[in-house]
Amino acid sequence: MKIVLLGGPGAGKGTQAAKLKDEYGIPHISTGEVLREARSAGTELGKKAAEYMDEGKLLPDDIILGIVGEKLEMQEMKNGFLFDGFPRTIPQAEGLDEMLDNKGRSLDAVVSIEVPDETAVKRLLRRAEIEGRTDDNRETIEHRLKIYYDQTEPLKTYYRNRGLLKSIDGIGNVDEIFERIKAVLG
Ligand code: ADP
């Protein structure tokens, strides 16, 4: 099972990814999580990531593709994987296709979790109080939403054209949404 989870900030990708990982027994790769870990470890990548993340900007595609390329070489990725927060731009999606192609592999499904902006903003502001993520403040959230519409939403057309896109309603409780995702994955 090779899956990509798509959705704007606050769509609930991370929450559902954790459940899908258990359900299907596949590794879950969140590029946002990789970058946050690099930050707390204080690596060069982490320092660079901090500059972009705190402004709600995307990191350059070549950096992200480098990270993902390394992950794809790992043994545990052979039986499938779940990407969350990647790809986020058309060049990232093309880069992923190329890397998979070179290995004679391809994606099975792209699940897009849909929530209205007001819901997403409310969830992120609530998360800000609980987790204190440095990029969960109103200004950065608005910028992340704008970037999502400009750069990430076009991926829906990209994957729809390849027959991979499954859109699901992201409003409801965590388990209901999980059931919807399992239903479309079959
Ligand atoms: P969100 O809750 O906004 O979906 P993520 O944890 O996926 O957050 O990502 C947080 C931040 O990390 C992004 O705003 C961006 O700065 C950076 N980031 C994560 N994934 C990518 C990616 N694929 N391409 C570029 N930047 C990324």
φ/ψ region of 18 (left if φ > 0, alpha if ψ in -120 to 50, else beta) reads alpha
Torsion over CA: 71, 76, 80, 81 (sign): negative
Catalytic annotation present for 57:
no
| Confidence check: pLDDT of 106 > 90 | yes
41-47 average pLDDT score: 97
Distance 167 CA to ligand 1 centre (A): 20
Q: Counting atoms of ligand 1 from 1, which one is nearest the CA of 53?
A: 16
> With 90 as the cut, is the pLDDT of residue 186 above it?
no
Q: What is the DSSP string of 119-161?
A: HHHHHHHHHHHHH--TT-SHHHHHHHHHHIIIIITHHHHHHHH
Q: Give yes or no: 160 in active site.
A: no
Cα–Cα nearest to 118, from 170, 178, 168: 170
What count of other Cβ atoms lies within 10 Å of the Cβ of residue 141? 22
Q: How many CA atoms lie within 13 A of 165 on its CB side?
A: 16
Q: Is 144 a catalytic residue?
A: yes
- Given 21, 57, 133, 160, the catalytic residue: 133
Alpha helices in the chain (DSSP H): 13-24, 31-41, 44-53, 61-72, 90-102, 117-131, 138-147, 154-161, 174-185
Cα–Cα distance measured from residue 60 to residue 31, given in angstroms and rounded to the nearest whole number: 12
Q: How much distance in Å is there from the Cα of 115 to the middle of ligand 1?
A: 17
Asked if the model's pLDDT at residue 26 lies above 90, the reply is: yes
Rounded to whole angstroms, how far apart are CA atoms 106 and 115?
27
Query: Is the CB of residue 9 less than 8 Å from the CB of residue 26?
Result: no
Terminal-to-terminal C-alpha distance of the chain: 11
Asked about 138 being catalytic, the answer comes back as no
Q: What confidence tens digit (pLDDT) does each residue in 68-78 have?
A: 999 999 999 99
Lowest average pLDDT, out of 12-16, 40-44, 129-133, 168-172, goes to: 129-133
For residues 111 and 5, the answer to whether their CB atoms sit within 8 Å is yes
Taking only the tens place, the pLDDT of each residue in 3-14 is 999 999 999 999
Residue pair 16/177 in contact by the 8 Å Cβ criterion: yes
Q: Each residue of 166-182: pLDDT tens digit?
A: 999 999 999 999 999 99
**Is residue 16 pLDDT above 90, yes or no?**
yes
d(CA 61, CA 53): 14
